[in-house]
Amino acid sequence: MSTVVVTGIGELVTNDPAVGDGSPLGVIIDAAVVVENGRIAWVGPEVQAPAADRRTELGGLCVVPGFVDSHSHLVFAGDRSAEFAARMEGIPYSGGGIAVSVKATRAASDADLLAGLRSVVAEMRAQGTTTVEVKSGYGLSVEHEARSVRIAAQVTDEVTFLGAHVVPAEYIGRRDAYVRLVSGRMLEACAPHARWADVFCEPGSRYAFDGDEARAVLTAAATAGLGLRVHANQLSAGPGVQLAVELGAASVDHCTYLSDRDVDALAAGGKTLSLDAAGTAAGRGTVATLLPGVEFSTRSPYPNARRLLAAGAVLALATDCNPGTCFTSSMPLMIALAVREMRMSPAEALWAATAGGALALRRTDIGRLTVGARADLTVVDAPTYLHLAYRPGVPLAYALDL
Ligand code: NIG
Ligand code: FE
């Protein structure tokens, strides 16, 4: 098997607190990494690096674990830039625009949906993202949800069935029938192609689902063998976070409006989460995934990251890349927003965008650069990872092809 050594890493972030500076980021200065068969075989100071068949020299740049974007909606067609422009004029986001994407998505060919998806995933990789979760949710019929998850499965293992995104137009006034469809025939058609199920739980919205409806869909999905994730507490306080924690969801996403009870529940679960969970599933607690691009693009209040961190919750950062609330594929932008707008430190933000994302997907093989992990190396064209937040909007990060 051929090996490659990556040298000239001025600053290496491993997310292994046992090495380097002993911080949660496990920073090693003047480091090297040896890769064999797509996995990391050795990490350490370059002066101690073993020989390898090939060498890639980075000339002093920074390397971080590939970003894990644990929340996106990329199987869609159509354009909603006018909705964004209207929002900037003061029209608040309500979820009503999802119907525009549903109409365009249903009308699109498989080939067009796949091409659009591939193009955003390539855009993500070019900005340092090496794992992406992709949700369905713009099909909202058995046929269109099933093809959405099938198409998503062509680009990632992290596919999420989101039939319970909103109640589609043809079911308005018949919500119960739609919840039965999602929990029954639609789930059956989608489960073979998905790892996760998700629900947009937002009782105050006439489009999304209340706590009882969300519970019905999530329990059916768990019975079908899917892991759980929940869109919750985005537009108002509601039952979503409690439900996610109670049902053992891997992640609860948005978390903008939280009660003290919500924060306590996330903090209790946070204590069970570790990338070292004996190589098994990474704990059973629920990660709080923050999506600051949504607040940026909907001009809404940001979640209180410091409150969650102070309580001991585990945070992930993700783009939520979608045509409605946030059409950016940039994890470096999420890091910059987390630092500038949510007062996370650059180290906390980078950890949440890498290790936090891995935990939100219950993965131990990504989100860190340790022996045995996937060789997902992201280069930051700068002397230190601090530049990810320090130089917002500058395309410094890219996934390294070895
Ligand atoms: O995560 N909130 C629900 N779903 C998406 C937005 C979908 C859309 O508006 O198209 C979100 O923000
Ligand atoms: Fe989302």
Q: What is the DSSP string of 144-203?
A: HHHHHHHHHTTT-S-EEEEEESS--GGGTT-HHHHHHHIIIIIHHHHGGG-SEEEEEE-T
Cα(278) to centroid(ligand 1), Å: 35
Check which CATH number belongs to the domain holding 189 and give it: 3.20.20.140
Does 125 share its domain with 89?
Answer: yes
Residue 15 lies in domain? 3-65+369-399
pTM over 0.95: yes
Does 42 share its domain with 96?
Answer: no
Does 22 share its domain with 166?
Answer: no
Does 264 share its domain with 308?
Answer: yes
Does 323 share its domain with 391?
Answer: no
Does 151 share its domain with 42?
Answer: no
Burial 106-134 (b: 16+ CB within 10 A, else e): bebeeeebbebbeebbeebbebbbbbbbb
Both tokens of 7, joined, read 């040298």
Cβ-proximal residues to 339 (8 Å cutoff; 6+ apart), any chain: 345, 346, 349, 389
Q: What is the DSSP string of 123-134?
A: HHHTTTEEEE-E
Does 135 share its domain with 185?
Answer: yes
Mutational test site, ligand 1, from 257, 325, 327, max ligand atoms within 8 Å of CB: 325
3-state helix, strand, coil in the chain (%, to 5): 35, 25, 40
Our count of domains for the chain comes to 2
Does 294 share its domain with 392?
Answer: no
Does 197 share its domain with 213?
Answer: yes
Residues with CB under 6 A from ligand 1: 73, 97-98, 101, 200, 231, 234, 294, 320, 322-325
What's the confidence (pLDDT) of residue 278?
Answer: 45
One digit per residue, pLDDT tens: the chain, 402 residues? 799 999 999 999 999 999 999 999 999 999 999 999 999 999 999 999 999 999 999 999 999 999 999 999 999 999 999 999 999 999 999 888 999 999 999 999 999 999 999 999 999 999 999 999 999 999 999 999 999 999 999 999 999 999 999 999 999 999 999 999 999 999 999 999 999 999 999 998 889 999 999 999 999 999 999 999 999 999 999 999 999 999 999 999 999 999 999 999 999 988 888 887 544 455 589 999 999 999 999 999 999 999 999 999 999 999 999 999 999 999 999 999 999 999 999 999 999 999 999 999 999 999 999 999 999 999 999 999 999 999 999 999 999 999
Does 383 share its domain with 264?
Answer: no
Does 142 share its domain with 277?
Answer: yes
Check which CATH number belongs to the domain holding 7 and give it: 2.30.40.10
Residue nearest to atom 5 of ligand 1 (CA): 325
